[in-house]
Structure 1
């Protein structure tokens, strides 16, 4: 059973779910820098901005670290909270006056199974 995290999240539902997927990828990068020494983990490949196939490079790197997203293990001395499954003690959903919902003990699964369709 996953350990509980005391965080409270407020999630505003939007029609475009790609923002949540982008958030997950960004969170992995931020956690890597926060829990690491500020250097890029050895499991990551740095993509050059001048690479004509930059989008493909980024997609390949994300596919390569997909197991690490679930486990939170990014190499020696680089442990972060695993994101799959990810327990949330309390979640508040607010979509204006038409829909509001409070949820307790939510477990999000499948975060590491996202698919990158296009990078802009």
Structure 2
């Protein structure tokens, strides 16, 4: 009798663990059948419904992300090539107003490509800058702010499925975020030790050469954004089994 009770208890524990795993998905996350012929359209609608959660990082009691798109902390950026610039504590507001323009997914190999548009973003940082533009050598340190309008961003995710506690989960292997286009305008306070006339003129020169500036600072910003995307995707897909996100129906 004891042996039968012990076996029953083990089976009950296994079933309980399995049920807890299946119930782990946050209620705010809308699922899409992976065998649906309209999977991409379903995901676009699901993400659109989840915008409030993506903006705050709160998906439910069992999934609270430290990434939110209302205020995205990019961190520190340093470039020392054609431009010598440090941007410290950079953060961006406005990414939560994104709209998905295009989405492609392979649910079996798990590869996703998403193109989003963002109408307007503002960014802020502490800076130090040295930039020799011919006869105009620009120097300064202080506060920097910038705006990006009509931005398009390409995001790529890839992952592999793996077993955990007898249930299949998804591990995000790589994430990539690339700024495809966007109208950038910057302003650096306190150039030339706060001499306002020179400061204004220098900022005009910088914005006249904004494509050069973008070519220097966008790659490290994209690298930091890719790390943020990887962290967010990992936190989401680590919270529940793969079957919960992409069931077969």
- Whether contact under 8 Å (1:88, 1:104) holds in the other structure is no
SS at structure 2 position matched to 1:116: strand
RMSD: 2.5
User: In structure 1, the residue corresponding to 2:73 is in which secondary structure?
Assistant: strand
Flag the 1:52–1:101 CA change in 2: closer, same or farther, 3 A.
farther
CA distance in 2, matches of 1:73, 1:116: 21
What does residue 77 of structure 2 align with?
Answer: 91
The equivalent of 2:237 in structure 1 is none
- Shift of residue 50, structure 1, vs aligned partner: 1.4
Structure 1 equivalent of residue 52 of structure 2 = 67
- Measured against aligned partners, the alpha-carbon deviations of 1:68-90 in whole angstroms (never above 9, x if no partner) come to 11111111232112331123441
After the TM superposition, which residues 22-37 of structure 1 pair with which residues of structure 2 at under 5 Å, given as runs? none
TM-score, normalised with respect to structure 2: 0.29
- Equivalent residue for 1:46, pick from 14, 21, 31: 31
Shift of 1:91: 2.3
Question: What's 1:10 paired with?
Answer: none
Larger Rg: 2
Structure 1, unaligned stretches of length 5 or more? 1-36
Counterparts of 2:79 and 2:45 in 1: how far apart (Å)?
33
4+ residue runs over 3 A deviation: 97-101
Larger RCO, structures 1/2 (Cα 8 Å, 6+ apart): 1
What are the Cα deviations for residues 18-77 of structure 1, in whole angstroms up to 9, with x where unaligned?
A: xxxxxxxxxxxxxxxxxxx79321111211121111111000111011111111111123
- Secondary structure of the 2:101 match is coil
Aligned length: 82
Please list every run of 5 or more consecutive structure 2 residues that lacks an aligned counterpart in the other structure: 1-20, 105-249
